[in-house]
Amino acid sequence: MSRNAESTAFRSALEVIRAVEPRVADAIGAELTDQRESLKLIASENYASPATLLAMGNWFSDKYAEGTVGRRFYAGCQNVDTVEALAAEHARELFGAPHAYVQPHSGIDANLVAFWAVLADRVESPALKKAQVRQVNDLTEADWFALRRELGNQRMLGMSLDAGGHLTHGFRPNISGKMFDQRSYGTDPATGLIDYDRVAEAAREFKPLILVGGYSAYPRKVNFRILREIADSVGATFMVDMAHFAGLVAGKVFTGDFDPVPHAHIVTTTTHKSLRGPRGGMVLCQPELADQVDRGCPMVLGGPLPHVMAAKAVALAEARRPDFADYAQRIVDNAQALAEGLLSRGATLVTGGTDNHLVLIDVSGYELTGRQAEQALLDSGIVTNRNSVPQDPNGAWYTSGIRIGTPALTTRGLGAAEMDQTAELIHTVLTQTTAGANADGTPSKAKYNLDAGLADKVARQATDLLATYPLYPGIDLT
């Protein structure tokens, strides 16, 4: 698409929106301005291409399409079939997966589809067998009671939240922690790394139905071959949530033992983050789970979002281009440069560095909580998110860490030199921020002190750093 076409497309769209609700049009324009001027270091965010963004704003949004390709519960879905089939084809080819299901609306939805697919495939109960061969309306209350009891008593072993796992891997407030009898594996207290012998020991003792690999805040590679061997040793289904690092798998930065797709029975992911697509989810699986996964709607999901599936097809097609592999490698190179820049300035990093797209700073060395550091950085034009560190004394709300990632800045074109400058800005803010106090004089985990002039100066420096790497240079809304 030419730059003139991009500007025309988005400018025209905003004009149409403005005629109905100008405040929405203003907010959309303001969001572009904010993103252009801020150092976006949230590891789970990126910038989708104009083609991907435009694929979401069309008439597919008006279509119901429950079911799967060729087997819909609504008529007139032939065009939806086309885009869903294309998205699934691109996903299979990109990841080397036997089967792809592209309907999930989010990563959590994808995980729920995977959980229920495994339960339906593995659990042996009279009620479940009846459910598979009879209409749901024919099941008696006794059948339902037996089914709920059988499914609810299964076990799952996943990475703990403070070690870098995700809330959908059995965290108690999440539905996954209510569906399963769950236990977590952590990391070595001395190194912050996964101790595979301890995972194997936990699996032998707990005997889970599902062993979950994957993370949202673990800055190292994971050996999925070893985890599969552990799962096989106890007869567990091996599931991997690669939402954070799917782009590194797609770009062939993670291969062999570090590519989950050849080793896992079932893999879930989001389609944004390092994959640089629209917000949404996806499930990849081995053939024996395909039929159960394809029942995601109506088992777990409501109607699919055809406009988002169209955008997934576009983004996955982009990820199959040769330049995406270069992009994926630069994500890791930039993360390692950012980590080195922070370490050289005295910061403490969980595991001492990174092998992937993210860096986890332990801000207790700055005598701050994660919440204080997050807000101080935001005041200074640096967008991050607070995150737990292993054995975090401040819990999951205030935390002791800041998680930063490089997918978004890499999309803009920043390199190692700019990562070092970014490390300097982060270090400057954190060293000049002090913990605040509550009204009664007691220490606060949320309030902080930062000179407004310094925050403004850093924000200007961040904007200047980004000026050479404009965001969406082909889009002019004026």
- Integer CA distances (angstroms), 125 to 128, 131, 151, 156, in order: 5, 10, 9, 18
80 touches 310 (CB < 8 A): no
Instruction: Find, among 268, 71, 76, 255, the residue nearest to 158 by Cα.
Output: 268
Going along the chain from its start, the domains and CATH numbers come out as: 59-123+154-319 (3.40.640.10), 324-467 (3.90.1150.10)
Which one of 109, 121, 241, 379 is the catalytic residue?
241
Q: Which residues belong to the annotated binding site for (6S)-5,6,7,8-tetrahydrofolate?
A: 161, 165-167
Residue 89: band (very low, low, confident or very high) from pLDDT cuts 50, 70, 90: very high
Active-site annotation holds for 71? no
Residue 143: band (very low, low, confident or very high) from pLDDT cuts 50, 70, 90: low
- Would you say residue 34 has pLDDT above 80? yes
Query: What pLDDT, on the 0 to 100 scale, is given for residue 2?
Result: 57
Active-site annotation holds for 196? no
Other Cβ atoms less than 10 A from the Cβ of 69: the count is: 16
State pTM to two decimals: 0.91
The residue among 228 and 127 whose pLDDT is bigger is 228
Which one of 72, 273, 312, 371 is the catalytic residue?
273
Query: How many degrees, rounded to 5, is the angle at CA 441 between CA 439 and CA 447?
Result: 65
pLDDT in tens, 289-317: 999 999 898 888 888 999 999 999 999 99
Query: What pLDDT, on the 0 to 100 scale, is given for residue 238?
Result: 97
Query: What pLDDT, on the 0 to 100 scale, is given for residue 174?
Result: 76
Residue 176: band (very low, low, confident or very high) from pLDDT cuts 50, 70, 90: confident
pLDDT in tens, 223-238: 999 999 999 999 999 9
Q: Which of helix, strand or coil describes residue 84?
A: helix
CA distance 129 to 326: 48
- Would you say residue 125 has pLDDT above 70? no
Active-site annotation holds for 422? no
- Would you say residue 137 has pLDDT above 70? no
Q: H-type helices in 134-190, by residue range? A: 141-152, 175-179
Query: What pLDDT, on the 0 to 100 scale, is given for residue 384?
Result: 97
The residue among 174 and 91 whose pLDDT is bigger is 91
Q: What is the mean pLDDT of residues 450-464?
A: 96
Q: Which residues belong to the annotated binding site?
A: 161, 165-167
**How many residues in the chain?**
478
For the chain, what is the radius of gyration of the CA atoms?
23
- Would you say residue 85 has pLDDT above 90? yes
Query: What pLDDT, on the 0 to 100 scale, is given for residue 366?
Result: 96
Which one of 66, 181, 257, 424 is the catalytic residue?
66
pLDDT in tens, 191-222: 999 999 999 999 999 999 999 999 999 999 99
Active-site annotation holds for 64? yes
Which one of 269, 270, 354, 406 is the catalytic residue?
270
Q: What is the mean pLDDT of residues 3-26?
A: 93
- Would you say residue 424 has pLDDT above 60? yes
Is residue 404 classed exposed, middle or buried when 0-12, 13-18 and 19+ CB atoms within 10 A define those classes? Answer: buried
Tokens of 113: 């589809």
Active-site annotation holds for 270? yes
Is residue 477 classed exposed, middle or buried when 0-12, 13-18 and 19+ CB atoms within 10 A define those classes? Answer: middle
Report the chain's mean pLDDT, rounded to a whole number: 91
Which one of 36, 220, 228, 279 is the catalytic residue?
279
Active-site annotation holds for 21? no
Instruction: Find, among 284, 277, 282, 280, the residue nearest to 261 by Cα.
Output: 284
- Would you say residue 136 has pLDDT above 70? no
